[in-house]
Amino acid sequence: MRNVPTVAANTFREAVRDRVLYNLVFFALLMMGAAILVGQISIGIEQDVIVSLGLSAISMIGIFIAVFLGVALVSRETDKRTLYALLAKPVKRWEFLLGKFFGLVMTLTVNTAAMAAGLYVALWSVKHPLVKSDAFLLVAVYLILLKLALIVALALLFSCFTTPFLAILFTAGIYVTGLFAADLRSIKAVDLDPRALRLMQGISYLLPNFQNFNVMSAVVHGRGVPAAIVWQATLYAILYIAIVLTGAAFVFSRRNLK
Amino acid sequence: MTPAPVDDARWLFKNKGMPQAAIEIENLSKEYPHGFLHLKKKKSLEDLTMRVEDGEVFGFLGPNGAGKSTTIKLLMRLIFPTAGSARILGKSIDDVAMHGSVGYLPEQPYFYDYLTAHELLDYFARFHRLTASDRSARVTAMLKKVGLETTKKIQLRKYSKGMLQRVGLAQAILHDPQVVVLDEPMSGLDPLGRREVRDIILELKGEGRTVLFSTHVLSDAEMLCDRVGVLVGGKLRGIGAPGELVDMKAQGMEILFELSGAAGNLALLEKATRTGERYRVQLPEAELYTALDALKAAGARILSVTQIKPTLEEYFMHLVETDRAQASAVEVSGK
């Protein structure tokens, strides 16, 4: 377990040196543009627009990084064979995987925190001073981060046994269907075979329910998020990530490297 | 593919009374599935059993696809055997702790190119539980040993192939390992680089370490190895000291001589190859003295007389050609 922080720190260093955090420039420009535009066409919805746009951008940019870098965590190492020298050290394969996971989550945390700070600056520029209810934004950002960690775990799992292209496809597919997991559970199709319905509902419970991490509508309108929702989402994410990473470690520990 | 279990009790019983070898391999086999549905199996390594003794420099020889890298990857647990087992310094290769005493240089090594040589070595050293001061001292010493002191702050993406190979060697011996496994360490190196690698291997041997390396360069193997193993088609076809493997009995004699002016009707010249005024002729040992007398009478200047012995290369080529002939015979009979 002592090797995990070492691998994680190097993964973070890799992301920084590969200029992953440059996306922050794009986010900053987007927020500045939005703030200027909203200031000109203001009809009393500045906060709603800025918060919606900001949180959506944080989520989308994060998802993009989580999927693409998450898949590359293992596949790049195996393709370039940088992994060979590392696994010949006293490092267990699951330690390597866990280190890679935490390294990317660390990168996403720094990235998301910087974007959240940018969002507050944009918000302050359109309606200063900030009020106490603006702190709810942090809850939304925290839940986005949990969602991103879950996506990284899924990307890592798929990249352990398939090609990078398919891993990206599978991860993106699971994310999109996971957004509708709750709808699948509550579907009441009259003309659908009951067995097919049960199968669909069964599958929906296996899929990660990404709506658990979406509190944007409440936060945009300045409403608070109940603590129970935050706790449940946290536990759900930790449990799901633990299961997915266990699966990834199981697959990877048996994999023959090229 | 699930890793093949290691039956420790069976192993200990079979090797009772034998001194512990640095590397012990028993019936190691590796098959890869291939074909569209992965239903066919291709054997990369077949039933390999051998030992590398403590303090020995052992060379793995064989053409491409012979199973050299497969064996090394199996030992390093990068791939898993279909059957068989292996131990390094008495520990099963399933035991990750074994890697603490083993250094490994992969074939055509590629490292994190966003790191400098110093950062890479420092990163790898952290896995060996060295204290910060030990780590710093080891990294500095290794960079000096492989001649990368002046370029240690440059990112590896700017390194040449030879420099990367040196970084690879440095990371392999960074933690003072008892056993060093090098996969094609001379590959892609210029003559100077090859000589440096040879010197490092000899230095490791001088320090009492066990070195196992694979190579295509037979002269390197002849020069460095206490013993060599020849793998052809996934099978071990020969193992022993280079001098033992080849027949040491002279196959004939070679005379190098200079002859200026008219040579008269010297019959020997018909068999000789000429370069300027120099001639080289090969003949049976029994005819040596008669030939020397004739040359003396013709006024030739004898430059050297040497025995013709088979080289490791000829032995190697003989094994490869035999294997190819057998393979094509099987193919023909199959058809």
Are A254 and B1 a contacting pair at CB < 8 A?
yes
The pTM is what? Answer: 0.82
Containing structural domain, residue A205: 3-252
Containing structural domain, residue B284: 252-308
Burial class of residue B222 in the structure, from the number of CB atoms within 10 Å of its CB (0-12 exposed, 13-18 middle, 19+ buried): middle
Residues B223 and B296 in one domain: no
Q: What is the CATH number of the domain that holds B265?
A: 3.30.70.3400
Max mean pLDDT range (A188-202, A239-253, B123-137, B290-304) = A239-253
- Whether A230 maps to a domain, the answer reads yes
Mean pLDDT of A108-137: 86
Least confident of A136-145, A231-240, B188-197: B188-197
Residues B109 and B160 in one domain: yes
Residues B177 and B74 in one domain: yes
Residues B228 and B274 in one domain: no
- Cα torsion through B25, B211, B141, B196, rounded to 10: -140
- Whether A257 maps to a domain, the answer reads no
- Pick the last residue of a domain from B212, B227, B245: B245
Q: How does DSSP assign B218-272, residue by residue?
A: HHHHHHH-SEEEEEETTEEEEEE-HHHHS--S--EEEEEEE--S--TT-GGGGT-
Residues B182 and B274 in one domain: no
Q: Cα dist. B85→A81, B20, B24, B80, B190 in Å?
A: 24, 15, 8, 10, 37
What is the domain count for chain A?
Answer: 1
| Residue B192, CB-side half-sphere exposure with 13 Å CA sphere | 4
- Give the pLDDT of residue B9: 46
**CA nearest to B316, candidates B215, B226, B224:** B215
Nearest-by-CA chain A residue for B181:
A88
Pairing relation of β-strands B252-258 and B102-105?
unpaired
Amino acid identity of B103? G
Residues B174 and B288 in one domain: no
Pairing relation of β-strands B102-105 and B179-183?
parallel
> Does the pLDDT at position A91 exceed 90?
yes
- Give the pLDDT of residue B334: 57
Q: Between these two residues, B18 and A182, which has the higher pLDDT value?
A: A182
Strands across the sheet with B102-105, in order?
A: B102-105, B179-183, B210-215, B57-61, B227-232, B235-240
Are B114 and A14 a contacting pair at CB < 8 A?
yes
Q: Between these two residues, B195 and A128, which has the higher pLDDT value?
A: B195
Point out the residue among B2, B98, B126 whose CB comes nearest to the CB of A6.
Answer: B126
- Whether B26 maps to a domain, the answer reads yes
Helix (H) or strand (E) segment spanning residue B58: strand B57-61
Q: For testing the chain A interface, which of B126, B155, B175, B212 should be mutated: the one with the most A CBs within 10 Å?
A: B126
Q: For testing the chain B interface, which of A80, A84, A91 should be mutated: the one with the most B CBs within 10 Å?
A: A84
Residues B15 and B134 in one domain: yes
Over pLDDT 70: what percentage of chain A? Answer: 96
**CA nearest to A157, candidates A205, A98, A221:** A98
What is the domain count for chain B?
Answer: 2
Query: Structure tokens of A197?
Result: 């319905």
* Average pLDDT along chain A: 89
Angle CA B80–B85–B91, to nearest 5? 105
| Residue B159, CB-side half-sphere exposure with 13 Å CA sphere | 27
* Separation of alpha carbons A88 and A26, rounded Å: 40
Nearest-by-CA chain A residue for B170:
A85
- Give the pLDDT of residue B58: 95
Residues B279 and B238 in one domain: no
* Separation of alpha carbons B71 and B131, rounded Å: 33
* Separation of alpha carbons B165 and B171, rounded Å: 10
Residues forming beta bridges with residue A14, ordered by sequence position: none
Residues B118 and B18 in one domain: yes
Residues forming beta bridges with residue B33, ordered by sequence position: B41
- Whether B25 maps to a domain, the answer reads yes
Residues B170 and B288 in one domain: no
- Give the pLDDT of residue B18: 58
> Does the pLDDT at position A181 exceed 90?
no
Mean pLDDT of A62-88: 92
Provide the shortest C-alpha distance from residue B154 to chain A (in Å). Answer: 14
* Separation of alpha carbons A146 and B238, rounded Å: 58
Provide the shortest C-alpha distance from residue B114 to chain A (in Å). Answer: 7
Point out the residue among B3, B80, B109 whose CB comes nearest to the CB of A85.
Answer: B109
Band of residue A39 on the pLDDT scale cut at 50, 70, 90: low
* Separation of alpha carbons B86 and B92, rounded Å: 6
Other residues' Cβ atoms within 10 Å of the Cβ of residue A41: 9
**pLDDT averaged per 10 residues, chain B (length 335):** 43 53 93 78 90 93 87 94 93 90 91 93 92 92 89 90 89 93 87 86 92 85 88 88 70 86 73 87 90 88 85 73 72 59
Q: Are B32 and B73 a contacting pair, CB within 8 Å? A: no
**CA nearest to A156, candidates A85, A88, A94:** A94
Helices within chain A (DSSP H only): 3-17, 23-40, 46-80, 82-87, 93-126, 136-159, 164-179, 181-185, 194-206, 216-220, 227-252
| Residue B109, CB-side half-sphere exposure with 13 Å CA sphere | 31
- Whether A127 maps to a domain, the answer reads yes
- Whether B330 maps to a domain, the answer reads no
Residues in Cβ contact with A183 at an 8 Å cutoff, skipping those fewer than 6 apart: none
Residues B231 and B128 in one domain: yes
* Separation of alpha carbons B283 and B300, rounded Å: 17
- Give the pLDDT of residue B250: 65
- Give the pLDDT of residue B263: 60
Residues B241 and B93 in one domain: yes
Burial annotation B167-196 (CB, 10 A radius, 16+ → b, else e): bbbbbbbbbebbbbbbbbbbbebeeebbeb
Pairing relation of β-strands B102-105 and B91-92?
unpaired
- Whether B316 maps to a domain, the answer reads no
Q: Between these two residues, B24 and A198, which has the higher pLDDT value?
A: B24
Residues in Cβ contact with A221 at an 8 Å cutoff, skipping those fewer than 6 apart: A48
Question: B3: which DSSP letter?
Answer: P
Are B127 and A3 a contacting pair at CB < 8 A?
yes
Q: For testing the chain A interface, which of B127, B130, B154 should be mutated: the one with the most A CBs within 10 Å?
A: B127
- Give the pLDDT of residue A235: 97
Band of residue A186 on the pLDDT scale cut at 50, 70, 90: confident
Q: Are B225 and B59 a contacting pair, CB within 8 Å? A: yes
- Whether B317 maps to a domain, the answer reads no
| B111 lies within 8 A of chain A by CB | yes
DSSP-based helix, strand, coil % in chain B, nearest 5: 40, 25, 35
Q: Cα dist. B158→A214, B116, B118, B124, B191 in Å?
A: 45, 9, 14, 20, 21
| Preceding amide of A164 cis, omega within 30 | no
- What is the ipTM metric for this complex? 0.85
Point out the residue among A10, A84, A257 whose CB comes nearest to the CB of B123.
Answer: A10
- Give the pLDDT of residue B300: 87
- For residue B291, the SS3 value is helix
Are B127 and A91 a contacting pair at CB < 8 A?
yes
- For residue A186, the SS3 value is coil
- Give the pLDDT of residue A44: 66
Are A85 and B171 a contacting pair at CB < 8 A?
yes
